A and B are shown apart, each in its own frame.
Chain A
Amino acid sequence: MATAASTEAMQLDQRGVGLDGDNAQFLSFILAGEHYGIDILRVQEIKGWTPVTRVPQTPQHMKGVLNLRGTVVPIVDMRMRFSLEEIEYTPLTVVIVMSVKSDTGERLVGIVVDAVSDVLNVPAENIKPTPDFGDKVSTEFINGLASVDDKMVMLLDVDQLFNTNELPAEEILEQVK
């Protein structure tokens, strides 16, 4: 399935739909039953989960690093990142490798999600601002909500997600043993 989604993404990209006027394209994935979307242009690769090398002195959600054709790429578990319930990895578990922009340039980051679902074509008018979810989900990393086929898709701001200090204060304290 992962492969199918990635091929589809490639084809759509080649047709140039992603660059069309008011339409934006997102790769959607599933996390604890919820749908999330990330800008398709940021997606480098979708691959099945393979064991990573754990990096000490890093937060729990930082699963470790992976060799991606000679580049060392950090892999982040999105369930842990969003403080959702942890589950066993299955054959469906996939890693989405994407590029993240920051002041210092572009970096590659892989995220572990439950499954990749679809490539979405979202007209701009279908994107709504983010309401306040209360404590359940941190909304600072969400750019907006898109409704697609009566589904609600949370559009992630990946730059924000990986550039804010990844360690909450409690976790930093926990690290210093």
Chain B
Amino acid sequence: MAIDVSQFLQTFYEESFEGLDIMESGLLNLDGGSENSESINDIFRAAHSIKGGSGTFGLNAVASFTHVLESLLDEMRDGRRQITKEGVNLLLESVDCLREMLKASQGGDELDAQRIADVHGRLEAMWGKKEAASPVATASGADNESAASEANSGWDIKFSPFAYILKTGNEPARMFRELGELGELTVTVNTDKVPDFSEMDPDECFLSWDLKLEGNVKRSAIDDVFSWIEEDCDLKITPIASKPDTASQPAAASGPTAAPTSASARSGGATAEAASIRVGIDKVDSVINLVGELVITQSMLSTTGEAYPALQAGLAQLERNTRELQEQVMRMRMLPVSFVFNRFPRLVHDISQKLGKQIELKMSGEQTELDKTVIEKVTDPLVHLIRNSLDHGIEMPEDRRAAGKPATGTVWLDAYHKGGNIIIEVKDDGKGIDKSVVLAKAIERGLVDASVHLEDEQILDLIFQPGFSTAKEVSDLSGRGVGMDVVRRNIQSLGGGVEIRSKEGEGSTITVRLPLTLAILDGQTVEVGTENYIVPLVSIVESTQIKPEMLNYVAGKGETFMLRDEYIPVIRLYEIFDSKPRHTDITKGLLVVVESDGKKIGLFVDDLLGQQQVVIKSLETNYKKVDGISGATILGDGSVALILDIPGLIRLSQQNCNTDRLKMSA
């Protein structure tokens, strides 16, 4: 029958990669020394599934590799084998190998065959047996190498099943049917043991049989028929008193495996999973786009429909439904941050071994959900932050003891909701950041003027300046030329922010703030001349009309104004955007004070219009990145409005100061 098992491969790969992740985190759990029998069960089950699937779907190399792995795990699970650090490390390496093998088989990636053979060899050595034959060949029902393989003219079979046989779902009639296919079968029933009718349990079997099977039948074929119930019956199989001509003739093999079965038509119907289905992200995104369109249409309708009272109730209902639909659809893109967090135990394990440090990773809030794209893009920055903590934060054990701290350092990774944002905190109890070193370096690099007094937090913030690095030597781990400035920029490009706090000798905390989703934004519409722009609501501190006495023109710093003891630079949006404003007198229009990463600027606009939730569209899809603009959205009337990029505008304002300075010196 033609069933192409390769059609299930994709599912197999996906679940195997998940299984490997489970194995990895389980192994790291064991590594922590906790006697966790649930862990080892999970690991075993994952290995077991991969082995079963790989054998079934024809990935024999994977199957034979997993076979050794599974055998080891089985012994560990039963307590027959001690779980050692070396053992766990080797198993972790095996997980890497399997991942590589599956990827190679899936996408034709390069395979380090040498390494795999090496790990395989070490696994076998640990298992203590060099089993030559891998038991993975395609299944054939049962082994046919029974000792009694000689053929003769037939067999006498005494078959007395135990009373409970029917309860196992095995019907004697089935055995007879199968035997009948092997040769000429004569059945004699013994009813001696049948009790009185009143005592009879209809679910029990009181009969026994004498069977005579004539023909040239292999003993092993008979064993096969009874293989499931050999422990549930008394069975005596003896050759029929042989006739002279029973010399071994080649038996016409007709084992159960060769038996023809009902030819099966392939039903093309896809199999549905009960609890969840896998859907391509492109499908989800296209639904999100369509819902975005629906939201726009809905808002167009409600604007038009205002004139028709009869429509009001329906339109209100439509609005509620649309909003709910949009929320639900957005949730389809959300994943728990555990998708990123799960890789960190391994990272911490590997790096702390390499550095000779003792580090414990404590994670919480793994179930906090984030947009898939945010999760993907925040992974590298988080890896970098954690590596920094491991590399520069946590001290060597002897240094820690000398400082009166426990030899084992701790890195905390925490995720939680806060005011429409997701906060991810990376915290360590390491040596903290030496602010004097930071300041000295910044002065040396010309990032700050030595004469300027800086607050502690301003000094720490210097770490995020381009080209800054406090590491005395470039380490193998964090010093890959990626600085904290790149971390900050990546996080800002997601619409988030990053801040650092540190106390010398006690440790550092880095706080990453991320938007829940990249697809929707709460926006404030502002009017600049004839144009409207959207300002993300999260970055707005306040809006104010200013009085002439608040104004200040600082040479080289441009226009600023004083807001509660703070000098805030002003950006006249109409200048930057080259549009014709209603007001050029700064006291006539409005200043929208916005903030990003501790820096505030005042955006000078003509007026504030409404607030609304907008669906973010990328300008880059069809055009390119534009300074000061983070994206676009489509308004209720179908027109496009641009969304301001606040961190970008703050950078632009700094450039403007420079050009101002140039103008003045010219």
Contact = CB atoms under 8 A, between A and B. Distances in A.
B656 to A, nearest CB: 9
B622 interface: yes
B638 A107 contact: no
B640 A67 contact: yes
B407 interface: no
A65 B629 contact: no
Interface in A108-158: 108-109
Nearest to A58: B626
A171 to B, nearest CB: 13
A109 B622 contact: yes
Interface in B613-650: 617-619, 621-623, 626-629, 632, 634, 638-642
Main DSSP-derived SS at the B contact region: mixed
A71 B622 contact: yes
B622 A73 contact: yes
Given A56-B628, A74-B623, A176 B640 contact: no
Nearest to B617: A72
A70 B621 contact: no
Given A56-B626, A65-B623, A70 B531 contact: no
Contacts of B617: 70-72
A54 B659 contact: no
B143 interface: no
Contact of A176 (B626, B641, B659): B659
Interface in B296-333: 296
Interface in A52-73: 52-58, 64-67, 69-73
B640 A72 contact: yes
Contacts, number: 72
A57 to B, nearest CB: 5
Contacts of B531: 53-54
Contacts of B634: 67, 70, 72
B520 to A, nearest CB: 15
A43 to B, nearest CB: 15
A158 to B, nearest CB: 13
Contacts of A15: none
A57 B629 CA distance: 9
Contact of B639 (A55, A67, A74, A108): A67
Contacts of A54: 531, 579
B8 interface: no
Interface string B567-601: 00000000111110000000000000000000000
B408 interface: no
A70 B288 CA distance: 11
A73 B289 CA distance: 15
Given A53-B641, A55-B629, A58-B626, A72 B621 contact: yes
Given A55-B642, A56-B628, A67-B640, A108 B622 contact: yes
Contacts of A107: 621-623
A70 B639 contact: no
Interface in B545-581: 575-579
A123 to B, nearest CB: 34
**Most chain A CB atoms below 10 A, which of B296, B623, B632:** B623
A81 to B, nearest CB: 14
B301 to A, nearest CB: 16
Contacts of A109: 622
A65 B640 contact: yes
A68 B173 CA distance: 72
A163 B292 CA distance: 30
A34 B626 CA distance: 33
B293 interface: yes
Given A67-B634, A67-B638, A70-B634, A55 B626 contact: yes
Contacts of B638: 67
A177 B296 CA distance: 37
Nearest to B634: A67
B450 to A, nearest CB: 31
A108 B623 CA distance: 8
B293 A70 contact: yes
Contacts of A65: 619, 623, 632, 640, 642
Contacts of A73: 622
A160 to B, nearest CB: 16
**Most chain B CB atoms below 10 A, which of A57, A66, A74, A107:** A57
Contacts of B575: 177
Given A65-B632, A65-B640, A57 B626 contact: yes
A38 B577 CA distance: 33
Contacts of B577: 56-57
A58 B575 CA distance: 14
Contacts of A53: 531, 632, 639-642
8 contacts: A52-B640, A56-B578, A57-B577, A57-B629, A65-B632, A71-B622, A72-B617, A72-B623
Given A53-B642, A72-B622, A177-B659, 7 more contacts: A54-B531, A56-B577, A56-B629, A56-B642, A67-B639, A67-B640, A70-B293
Interface of B: 289, 292-293, 296, 531, 575-579, 617-619, 621-623, 626-629, 632, 634, 638-642, 659
